[in-house]
Amino acid sequence: MPDIMNEIVWVRLTYPDKSQFCFHTTLSPSILKRYAILLKENSLPCLD
């Protein structure tokens, strides 16, 4: 199983109207640093 704390993973959000949005994300500090992304509280950064 992928580990969001250490790897890039796919996330699929499903909204109340049944539409969906898929994107790559991670919570890994080293990967986020490579992308020059500062992690905001209560968020998942989109790496796409």
What was the pLDDT predicted at 2?
82
**Exposed, middle or buried by CB within 10 Å (0-12, 13-18, 19+), for 29?**
exposed
Which residues face 38 on adjacent strands? none
Q: Length of the chain in residues, anyone?
A: 48
Convert the pLDDT of each residue in 1-48 to its tens digit.
Answer: 789 999 999 999 999 999 999 999 999 999 999 999 999 999 999 998
What was the pLDDT predicted at 27?
96
**Secondary structure (H, E, C), 3-30:** CCCCCCEEEEEECCCCCEEEEEECCCHH
